[in-house]
Chain A
C-alpha cells in the first residue's frame, strides 16, 4: 500500500544533542511537509518542499533544518534540541493540484528531550 513512513516512531535525546527524524513516501507526491504538534494543539507547519523548492515558515526557529535528497525522502534536523522542542513531529505529503491539496500524514515521531 502507498504510504508515508516515519522513523523512528519514538526518539529520546538529550538537551542540546542533535537529532534527525526521517520521512519516506511511496505516494510519489511532489510536496512534503514537516509539522510540529504539541499536546492538545493543532499541527504547526515548520516548512515544506514543493519538489526541490524549500519553503520555510517565518516563525520556524533556525534550530530546525530540513533536507530532501530525492522525491521519496525528507529529513528534519534539530541542531540543538531544547526542552520546548519535545513534541510529536508529523510528516505529510500532497500532490499539489489547483484547488485541492489533501495531505496524507505519517504516523509521527514523538520526540522526548531529557
Chain B
C-alpha cells in the first residue's frame, strides 16, 4: 500500500535555529497535509498542499510540495519554544484516508 516516509525522527535545535522535516513517497500524491501535535495534545491541522511545486508560508513556517508531487517539506525559521511538538505529514489516498508519516519531533535544547 501507499507509504509516506518522514525524516528525521527527532531534531534537536537551539532556540533561534531553523528546523526542517521531509516527507517522501514512491508514488505521486494527490495532496499532502501537515499537522502539529504539541506534547500531550492532539494533532492540529496546519496546511494542505495540492499543486505541483506549491509553496505556502505561515509566518515562520514554509511548506513546499515537490514538482513531481512525491515529496514535501516543512521549514521553520528561527524556532521558538512554542514550536515544540511533533510535526506529521499525511497524504490522502484514493479512499480519502490519510496515510501518515512517522512524525518529526522538534526538541529545543535548554
Residues of A within 8 A of B (CB): 31, 40-43, 45, 48, 90, 92, 96, 99-108
CA distance A104 to B42 in the complex (A): 10
Chain A: which residue is nearest B44 at the CB level? A105
Q: Which of A48, A102, A108 contacts B48 (CB 8 A)?
A: A102
- For the complex, is B66 an interface residue (Cβ under 8 Å from A)? no
Determine how close the nearest CB of chain A comes to the CB of B63; give it in whole angstroms: 14
Chain B: which residue is nearest A110 at the CB level? B40
- Give the 4 A-B CB pairs with smallest separation, nearest first: A42-B100, A105-B42, A101-B96, A108-B42
CA distance A101 to B88 in the complex (A): 15
Contacts of A43 in B (CB 8 A): 43, 100
CA distance A105 to B46 in the complex (A): 12
- Interface residues of B, CB < 8 Å — how many? 20
Residues of B within 8 A of A (CB): 30-31, 33, 41-45, 48, 50, 88, 92, 96-98, 100-103, 105
Contacts of B88 in A (CB 8 A): 42
Contacts of A104 in B (CB 8 A): 45
CA distance A4 to B33 in the complex (A): 19
Contacts A99-B30, A101-B96 given; indicate if A42 touches B45 (C-beta within 8 A). Answer: no
CA distance A48 to B96 in the complex (A): 11
Contact call A45/B98, Cβ cutoff below 8 A: yes
Contacts of B98 in A (CB 8 A): 45, 101, 103
Contacts of B42 in A (CB 8 A): 90, 105-108
Chain B: which residue is nearest A92 at the CB level? B43
Contacts of A107 in B (CB 8 A): 41-42
Question: Which of A41, A48, A96, A102 has the most chain B CB within a 10 Å cutoff?
Answer: A102
Contacts of B92 in A (CB 8 A): 101
Contact call A102/B100, Cβ cutoff below 8 A: no
CA distance A42 to B33 in the complex (A): 14
Jot down 15 A-B pairs with beta carbons below 8 A, ordered by A: A31-B96, A40-B105, A42-B88, A42-B103, A43-B43, A43-B100, A45-B98, A48-B97, A90-B42, A96-B96, A99-B50, A102-B33, A103-B45, A103-B98, A105-B43
Contact call B96/A42, Cβ cutoff below 8 A: no
